[in-house]
Chains A and B, each alone.
Chain A
Amino acid sequence: MAVYEHDVLVVGAGLAGMRATIAAISSGANAAMITKVHPVRSHSNAAQGGINAALTSRGDTWDDHALATVKGSDYLGDQDAIEVMCSEAGDTLIELEHMGVIFNRDDDGRLGTRRFGGQSVARTFFVADITGQALLHVLYEQIIKSEARIYEEWFVTSLVMIDGQCRGVVALELMTGQIHLIKAKAVILATGGCGRVYEPSTNGLIVTGDGIAMAYRAGATLMDMEMIQYHPTTLKGNGVLMTEAARGEGAYLLNSEGDRFMEKYAPNMMELASRDVVSRAEQTEINEGRGVDGCVLLDLRHLGREVIETKLSYINEVALDFVNVNLAEQPVPIRPGCHYIMGGIKTDVDGVTSIPGLYAAGECANVSVHGGNRLGANSLLDTIVFGRRSGLAATAYAKEIGESRVPESVIDVDVQYIKTLMSRESSNDSWAKIRREMGDSMNEHVAVFRNEEGMQAGLKNIIKLKERFSRLEVKDHSEVFNTSLLFTLELGYMLDLAESICVSALSRKESRGAHFRIDMPERDDKNWLKHTTVHISPDGPKIDYLPVVITQWEPQVRSY
């Protein structure tokens, strides 16, 4: 058996993973990346609107950005972490520009800005409406330059745990179907979110929460898993994202009566209130009969053709392709849709998790900078700032920690499990059916508006689906590029996460951020200004709580 060994192994090759790898290599580590898809296929691609940063060189202040983020989080974000993210944002942005990102400019040739939700000033830097793609491809350029080893189209099936420490991963090489051991002194999870637990979702089909689930199974603490962001503007039908930048550039939200209904819900910020607020407003309009065929309308007509074609060209293409709407001529039907998870693997500001040797960064981690609700364009910033920091911290750890004997037999459990999946009796059930039912149930019961009864029903559904999954066979028995096996393994991860989301949501007896209970509609700072944590136990997910870190901003009434 081939032996693979590194100081630092990064799982996932989106923005956080690539930034972590670059940081680890530049600080002298033998670092490699392992990813189930080619790096530029990663879902960071789909981020459209931009990246936030307060540039002090032009008079902006980072604590204003931090305050906006704290308020956006509905005071659930840890303020020490938010301070780190916002104070490092300026340098992070300039570093990206120096790497080669082709940010749009102002008339003087300096970096240009646009407005974004929840921010008092324009501090969102952007590349048209393909900012994520532009960043991802530039970071991949830097990865090519670094000559980092990439295990491409390898799927991690479990973390290797020796004496309570993470010492590497077990992975399935898709091209051959072989299972390998990759040893590492430190592992950084940067596998993104788990949006595909929901159906529909703005997320790509690959966004299945693998890293969060493997950390959970290995005993790591997850935090605030109930905080699922519904993006206010996702396309009717297939649920593809229509960037917040449309509203940042001035687009309106209209109901069936042609009113800018946000007036009622957020008279100051209007369409640029935070995402949880706008999504709830839309859903209320739809529920009260002022929707249009289950949607409301996003109207860009008054922005003019030039703005649409230069600054919003991608969503213009998407609207034409999928719903045959020309944004300059017609409003486009949109609705709230599952987009992002604020929760994830609990980490500190250096990506350190509750397991020694295991780090996490990006959407799979919860630092926590987004708390109950993430502001638009803060996620790209999160990936780069904390990707870099976790790369540095993991390298420092790897240099300190001694060697450990990792027996090759650690792969046996996964080899055996896959054999079992392949040899189960054939049935009429399929990964696709279970996945669909899980997604539909989550979207019905643990969505924009929640209540006790619904969430209980949702949890019950997931437990039943887990039972069905435990009998499910893989129908394709081939070795080369067996996606049937891959999707089954992913589904196993997702069901664990769906359960942890339901249990976490049921435990929070108040409304905060994205977690809105119609049976408990008030925020309750006295009892619930705290994080929910969840970890695995023989009796299922076990809930606990942690205090929120407050440094300088006491909770206030939140209105936009």
Chain B
Amino acid sequence: MQVTLNIKRFNPESEQPFPYEEEFNVEVEEHFTVLDSLIKVREEIDESLTLRCSCRASICGSCSMRVQGHAKLACKTKIIEVMDSEKRIKIEPMTNQPVVKDLVVDMKLFWDKIRDVRPWLQPEGPEPENEYIASNEAMIHLTGVMGCIMCGACVSDCTVLEVDNNFLGPAALAKAYRFVGDPRDGASKDRLKELSKYSGIWDCTRCYECVEVCPKGVAPMERIMVLRDKAIVAGFDGNYGARHTEAFSSLVEHSGWLDELRMIPKTFGMFNPLSLGPLMGMIPVGLRAFRRGKMPPIFHKSIPGVKNVRRIFKKLEARK
């Protein structure tokens, strides 16, 4: 079958170094992956088409790119599963990272962030003579995160990194989780403290993109959420993110639904001098909401079944 690849290309050495799209018609077999088709172009049509790839079996993490608008591993993506009704496939380099040439991006930012989480085991106390004793469940659980092949797909499609590249991002935070969750690591508390700062776990907007695009089922966002829980339990609850979470649940527990008006001061801290700026910054938002009739009610009524809501909370608390 013949398919059309619309490849976004970039040659930094051309006289007009701008990205452009080039169309390639390739004959493919039914079992072909996107990578197979790109290799075919490179070997038979245009030797200058540039991409990274090696293992062809979703373990080396080299061939991440955007396919039909989402980051994917080219070697794990079957042509027939992604082509449109006209048998076209749009292929672009990953985003959130500068393009070097064609489908090759510079992953320096990615690796810098991995380095930032101090990604090595920091055990406490003297080393045992033999292995550390740890439960198989704990190790199998960590295998889910160690399955990360550092392909960069999650970083490419992270909607927070798109607006703020200070964010540690899904891959580095999943890597951090691998140590916080490791029973042999003795630095979990320090790690959680660091991760609770600006650019850490509280900057995730829970958009789910990283979970969607991860080719290995690492589910970075879900790891970030567990890190948040662990950070609060460890006592790192003095930041906006943790207070926002606390405020959210205590307000819902109180009235059965969210009291948006009280959410803001509770998050920022009513008597915190540092929160004066952010609180003042909310005033224009409030005014605009008022003008459009979207101001939350000043007197917030509880819902009729609020007792049941409180019972749910109690049960959940007891489970902890």
A: residues with CB less than 8 A from B are 37-38, 40-43, 45-46, 57, 94, 97-100, 102-112, 127-128, 130, 133-134, 137-138, 141-142, 144-145, 175, 204-206, 237-238, 240-241, 310, 314, 317-318, 321-323, 430-432, 475-476, 478-484
Instruction: Check: B2 CB closer than 8 A to any chain A CB.
Output: no
Neighbour of B100 across the interface among A102, A104, A175, CB < 8 A? A175
A22 CB to closest chain B CB (Å) equals 11
Contact residues of B between 111 and 168, Cβ < 8 Å to A: 111, 114-115, 119-121, 123, 127, 130-136, 139-140, 142-143, 146-150
B98 CB to closest chain A CB (Å) equals 12
B60, closest chain A residue (CB): A41
Q: Give the most central of B57, B62, B121, B147: most A CB within 10 Å.
A: B57
The reply to whether A40 and B149 form a contact with Cβ atoms under 8 Å apart is: yes
Beyond A105-B136, A109-B133, whether A46 also contacts B57 by CB under 8 A is yes
Contact residues of B between 42 and 61, Cβ < 8 Å to A: 42-44, 47-48, 50-61
Instruction: Check: B237 CB closer than 8 A to any chain A CB.
Output: no
A-B contact pairs, 13 of them (CB 8 A): A41-B54, A104-B136, A104-B140, A105-B134, A109-B136, A110-B131, A127-B139, A175-B100, A323-B31, A431-B47, A432-B43, A476-B48, A480-B12
Instruction: Check: B182 CB closer than 8 A to any chain A CB.
Output: yes
Number of interface residues of B (CB under 8 A): 55
A483–B182 Cα distance when bound, in Å, is: 40
Additional pairs, 8, CB under 8 Å, beyond known A107-B136, A205-B55: A99-B120, A110-B130, A112-B136, A127-B139, A144-B119, A317-B58, A321-B58, A481-B100
The reply to whether A137 and B54 form a contact with Cβ atoms under 8 Å apart is: no
A240–B42 Cα distance when bound, in Å, is: 21
A483–B52 Cα distance when bound, in Å, is: 9
Neighbour of B60 across the interface among A45, A104, A321, A476, CB < 8 A? A45
A431–B57 Cα distance when bound, in Å, is: 23
Neighbour of A145 across the interface among B12, B106, B120, CB < 8 A? B120
Residues from chain A with a CB closer than 8 A to the CB of B42 are: 432, 483
**Which A-B residue pairs are the 8 nearest by beta carbons?**
A100-B121, A432-B43, A204-B54, A105-B136, A476-B48, A109-B133, A204-B55, A141-B120
A547–B146 Cα distance when bound, in Å, is: 44
Residues from chain B with a CB closer than 8 A to the CB of A110 are: 130-131, 133
The reply to whether B60 and A109 form a contact with Cβ atoms under 8 Å apart is: no
Residues from chain A with a CB closer than 8 A to the CB of B136 are: 104-107, 109, 112
Residues from chain B with a CB closer than 8 A to the CB of A322 are: 31, 57
Beyond A100-B120, A100-B184, A480-B12, whether A130 also contacts B59 by CB under 8 A is yes
Residues from chain B with a CB closer than 8 A to the CB of A175 are: 100, 106
The reply to whether A109 and B48 form a contact with Cβ atoms under 8 Å apart is: no
The reply to whether A98 and B55 form a contact with Cβ atoms under 8 Å apart is: no
Residues from chain A with a CB closer than 8 A to the CB of B101 are: 478, 480-481
A275–B85 Cα distance when bound, in Å, is: 46
The reply to whether A318 and B56 form a contact with Cβ atoms under 8 Å apart is: no
A383–B104 Cα distance when bound, in Å, is: 30
A100–B143 Cα distance when bound, in Å, is: 12
A205, closest chain B residue (CB): B54
Neighbour of B133 across the interface among A46, A108, A241, A479, CB < 8 A? A108
Beyond A97-B131, A134-B146, A430-B43, whether A479 also contacts B13 by CB under 8 A is yes
A95, closest chain B residue (CB): B127
A466–B230 Cα distance when bound, in Å, is: 61
Instruction: Check: B250 CB closer than 8 A to any chain A CB.
Output: no
The reply to whether A98 and B182 form a contact with Cβ atoms under 8 Å apart is: no
A111, closest chain B residue (CB): B131
The reply to whether A46 and B59 form a contact with Cβ atoms under 8 Å apart is: yes
Beyond A144-B115, A205-B56, whether A484 also contacts B61 by CB under 8 A is no
Instruction: Check: B252 CB closer than 8 A to any chain A CB.
Output: no
Residues from chain A with a CB closer than 8 A to the CB of B55 are: 43, 45-46, 204-205
Residues from chain B with a CB closer than 8 A to the CB of A431 are: 47
Beyond A37-B62, A94-B131, A204-B60, whether A480 also contacts B100 by CB under 8 A is yes
B100 CB to closest chain A CB (Å) equals 6
Instruction: Check: B107 CB closer than 8 A to any chain A CB.
Output: yes
Instruction: Check: B191 CB closer than 8 A to any chain A CB.
Output: no
Neighbour of B143 across the interface among A42, A97, A128, CB < 8 A? A128
B102, closest chain A residue (CB): A481
A100, closest chain B residue (CB): B121
The reply to whether B135 and A484 form a contact with Cβ atoms under 8 Å apart is: no
Residues from chain B with a CB closer than 8 A to the CB of A98 are: 121, 123, 127, 131-132
A450–B214 Cα distance when bound, in Å, is: 44
Residues from chain A with a CB closer than 8 A to the CB of B133 are: 108-110
Instruction: Check: B11 CB closer than 8 A to any chain A CB.
Output: yes
Beyond A104-B140, A141-B121, A321-B76, whether A478 also contacts B56 by CB under 8 A is no
Residues from chain B with a CB closer than 8 A to the CB of A480 are: 11-13, 100-101
A17 CB to closest chain B CB (Å) equals 15
A480–B48 Cα distance when bound, in Å, is: 11
Residues from chain B with a CB closer than 8 A to the CB of A100 are: 120-121, 182, 184
The reply to whether A43 and B60 form a contact with Cβ atoms under 8 Å apart is: yes
The reply to whether B123 and A476 form a contact with Cβ atoms under 8 Å apart is: no
A155 CB to closest chain B CB (Å) equals 13
A501–B61 Cα distance when bound, in Å, is: 31
B247 CB to closest chain A CB (Å) equals 37
Residues from chain A with a CB closer than 8 A to the CB of B127 are: 98
A42–B52 Cα distance when bound, in Å, is: 13
The reply to whether A102 and B44 form a contact with Cβ atoms under 8 Å apart is: no
The reply to whether A109 and B130 form a contact with Cβ atoms under 8 Å apart is: no
Residues from chain B with a CB closer than 8 A to the CB of A99 are: 120-121
Residues from chain A with a CB closer than 8 A to the CB of B143 are: 102, 104, 127-128, 130, 134
B103 CB to closest chain A CB (Å) equals 10
A476–B150 Cα distance when bound, in Å, is: 29
A432–B11 Cα distance when bound, in Å, is: 22
Beyond A100-B184, A481-B100, whether A94 also contacts B120 by CB under 8 A is no
A141–B53 Cα distance when bound, in Å, is: 22
The reply to whether B146 and A102 form a contact with Cβ atoms under 8 Å apart is: yes
A202–B272 Cα distance when bound, in Å, is: 61
Beyond A98-B127, A133-B149, whether A238 also contacts B48 by CB under 8 A is no
The reply to whether B132 and A104 form a contact with Cβ atoms under 8 Å apart is: no
